[in-house]
A and B are shown apart, each in its own frame.
Chain A
Amino acid sequence: MQLRYQRAVAEPQAIVECRALRKRYRDRFAVDGIDLDVPRGVCFGLLGPNGAGKTTTLRMVYGVTRPTSGSARVFGLDVARDARRVRARLGVTLQENALIEPLSAIDNLRVFGRYHRIPRAELEVRIEELLDFLELRSHASLPVRALSGGFQRRLAIALSLINRPELLVLDEPTTGLDPAVRLALWERVRELQAAGTTVLLTTHYMDEAERLCDRLVILSGGRVVADGAPLELIRRELAPQALELVVAEADEGRVLQGLDGVRRLRTGRRLVLYVPDAGALLETLRHRGDVGEPRAVVVRPANLEDVFLALTGTGLTGGA
């Protein structure tokens, strides 16, 4: 107990702490004043469309990109000053796998272990563990060049775990993978989190964020446009439920009569209305005879994708 107490005092609550972080490339701010607090033990998501500044933010967190201004602290250490010590305690899976393709999974793990200067005997123990944990054993001795995308991705994640990181950074961990592989990887991430690893990930899959992340921020144009727990975000930014229907743009005004303040999103012919009770709204519209054939109507819970489109995309109008 005494040890735990001292550790809590020595280290701040947040594993990652960014303050007013900015990065300018020529005349454009890729990251334009971001504050982040990632508490120990959570799975924290950075969401945003392509070019929102997710990867640049990560690069500043693990100390490879120097911020133009602002600060990033990880494990309570200033990343700009202590990059080596910070990176010894975290693992990063890059968007691209960056494997040594002529070498086997085992040899890739050995090389990566050398990057961390892990003593040889200890390294072999960890390699054995990771071959099991990420199910690499069946093809562990074959050149990775010939292996499937799913295998290569699992290996890339294994590499970033070779130093038993306290913080695991995953940049779009499941992009381009089939559903079975994605589910398996999510399970591994949950297991790591259960074992005490803090996870910081970027994604533009909203289902991934909704299932994995305890907390998340949505980035757009290098700024944080929303943050919170997934459900909290949906409730706060939109409403718990969504009513989707096909309405020609010409008829939109008629449908929306008396619905002032209801947030809505148009994508092509579909109009989505966000309300506390979508079923009740549907009844109301039916009574007015404004809704066309029922096949075009969907009543569903509002999800993170709605929030994402609302905050980063175009087309959301109305409301506060």
Chain B
Amino acid sequence: MSVSRYALSVWWRNAAMYRRTWKLNILPNFFEPILYLVSIGIGVGAYVSQMGGTSYVAFLAPGLVAVAAMNGASFEVTYNAFVRLNFEKTYASMLTTPIQPDDVLAGEVLWAMTRAAIYGSIFYAVIAAAGLAPLPSSLWALPLIPLTGLLFAALGIAFSLRIPNIDLFSFYFTLFLTPLFLFSDVFFPLAERLPPWGLRVAEALPLLHPVRLMRAAFRGEFRPILIWDLAYILALSAALLWIAARITRRRLSE
């Protein structure tokens, strides 16, 4: 890869757009966690005396921070990136300047991580305000938010560059992200419900690893498996970005 400071120009373009619309974007970001916590955490939680050794709402909170980061990054590299690539011709116009395809990819991933950070930290702030984020240990969640963003930026951009039609994103969201959301330790401890083979399958799911790291941060406990979680995120991100860089170079220099 030949990523350069020009990646920041790409990032800056998206930030300039966001500066005009952030007021509209921030508000839903703020309400989403409240809705989840009230509906599922407090509503469903009233029927659950304990989960994973804590109250249900406290069990739920860290996973939802990871989900917020996942969603923030995913929207940016799917619908938004697809529109920039195919409809707005943003990349075509960038490539008339010294910006190279690798810079475009790096800038987009960096921006998706930024959006994940905005989404995730608002979520975290709401949860902390509700007294569900023990301090100081849960501050470890903060660096995990953009890391989760990186993973889902890499996944999403690799998908976006390959599909010919914007309607195919509904597959990505409904058949990929939604199952991840439901089966990645967010709502219930997989270890207590899945058979051994199911657990082995679950280890392959990308969201499980940020959720496990996030929950460990909230609890302030370190376990050796977290090294595997971190390695999984970094290795999969790197592999996907390598693939995405190849596709980007090919697609943008046709």
Contact assessment for A117 and B21 in the assembled complex, using a CB-CB cutoff below 8 Å: no
| Residues A83 and B12 in contact in the complex (CB < 8 Å), given A102-B20, A103-B20, A115-B6 | no
Chain A residues, Cβ within 8 Å of B95: 64
Interface code B90-101, partner A: CB below 8 Å = 1, 0 otherwise?
A: 101111111110
> In the complex, what residue of chain B is closest to A112 when comparing beta carbons?
B97
| Residues A115 and B253 in contact in the complex (CB < 8 Å), given A98-B92, A102-B21, A103-B16 | no
B207 smallest CB distance to A (angstroms): 32
Contact assessment for B96 and A62 in the assembled complex, using a CB-CB cutoff below 8 Å: yes
Asked if B13 lies at the interface with its beta carbon under 8 angstroms from chain A, I say yes
Chain A contact residue count (CB 8 A cutoff):
31
Interface code A199-226, partner B: CB below 8 Å = 1, 0 otherwise?
A: 0000000000000000000000000000
Contact assessment for A111 and B12 in the assembled complex, using a CB-CB cutoff below 8 Å: yes
Most buried by A among B21, B95, B96, B99: B96
B5 smallest CB distance to A (angstroms): 7
State in angstroms the CA–CA spacing of A61 and B100 once bound together: 15
> In the complex, what residue of chain A is closest to B21 when comparing beta carbons?
A102
State in angstroms the CA–CA spacing of A318 and B93 once bound together: 45
Contact assessment for A117 and B5 in the assembled complex, using a CB-CB cutoff below 8 Å: yes
Contact assessment for B100 and A117 in the assembled complex, using a CB-CB cutoff below 8 Å: no
List residues of A (52-100) whose CB comes within 8 Å of B's CBs.
Answer: 62, 64-66, 83-85, 87-88, 91-92, 94, 96, 98, 100
State in angstroms the CA–CA spacing of A110 and B12 once bound together: 10
Contact assessment for A88 and B16 in the assembled complex, using a CB-CB cutoff below 8 Å: no
| Residues A100 and B98 in contact in the complex (CB < 8 Å), given A64-B252, A65-B253, A94-B93 | no
B138 smallest CB distance to A (angstroms): 36
Asked if B9 lies at the interface with its beta carbon under 8 angstroms from chain A, I say yes
Asked if A163 lies at the interface with its beta carbon under 8 angstroms from chain B, I say yes
List residues of B (76-99) whose CB comes within 8 Å of A's CBs.
Answer: 88-90, 92-99
State in angstroms the CA–CA spacing of A115 and B94 once bound together: 7
List residues of B (1-43) whose CB comes within 8 Å of A's CBs.
Answer: 5-6, 9, 12-13, 16-17, 20-21
State in angstroms the CA–CA spacing of A84 and B254 once bound together: 17
Q: Indicate which residue in A65, A87, A94, A110 contacts B98 across the interface (CB closer than 8 Å).
A: A87
Contact assessment for A94 and B16 in the assembled complex, using a CB-CB cutoff below 8 Å: no
State in angstroms the CA–CA spacing of A318 and B253 once bound together: 43
Contact assessment for A96 and B89 in the assembled complex, using a CB-CB cutoff below 8 Å: yes
Size range of the interface on B? 20 to 34
State in angstroms the CA–CA spacing of A64 and B89 once bound together: 14
List residues of B (215-229) whose CB comes within 8 Å of A's CBs.
Answer: none
> In the complex, what residue of chain A is closest to B12 when comparing beta carbons?
A114
> In the complex, what residue of chain B is closest to A114 when comparing beta carbons?
B9
Asked if A160 lies at the interface with its beta carbon under 8 angstroms from chain B, I say yes
B102 smallest CB distance to A (angstroms): 11
Chain B residues, Cβ within 8 Å of A159: 93
Q: Indicate which residue in A85, A92, A103, A117 contacts B96 across the interface (CB closer than 8 Å).
A: A92
Q: Indicate which residue in B9, B93, B100, B253 contacts A98 across the interface (CB closer than 8 Å).
A: B93
Chain A residues, Cβ within 8 Å of B5: 117
State in angstroms the CA–CA spacing of A91 and B252 once bound together: 18
Contact assessment for B13 and A98 in the assembled complex, using a CB-CB cutoff below 8 Å: no
Contact assessment for A84 and B98 in the assembled complex, using a CB-CB cutoff below 8 Å: yes
> In the complex, what residue of chain A is closest to B96 when comparing beta carbons?
A92
Chain A residues, Cβ within 8 Å of B16: 100, 103, 107, 110-111
Q: Indicate which residue in B89, B97, B252 contacts A115 across the interface (CB closer than 8 Å).
A: B97
B11 smallest CB distance to A (angstroms): 10
Contact assessment for A111 and B21 in the assembled complex, using a CB-CB cutoff below 8 Å: no
A77 smallest CB distance to B (angstroms): 13
Contact assessment for B6 and A100 in the assembled complex, using a CB-CB cutoff below 8 Å: no
B203 smallest CB distance to A (angstroms): 41
Chain B residues, Cβ within 8 Å of A66: 253
Enumerate 5 A-B pairs (CB-CB under 8 Å) in ascending A order: A64-B96, A115-B6, A115-B13, A115-B94, A163-B97
**Additional A-B contacts beyond A64-B96, A102-B17 (10; CB < 8 A):** A65-B254, A83-B100, A98-B89, A98-B93, A100-B16, A100-B17, A112-B97, A115-B6, A115-B94, A169-B96
**B residues at A contact (CB < 8 Å):** 5-6, 9, 12-13, 16-17, 20-21, 88-90, 92-100, 252-254
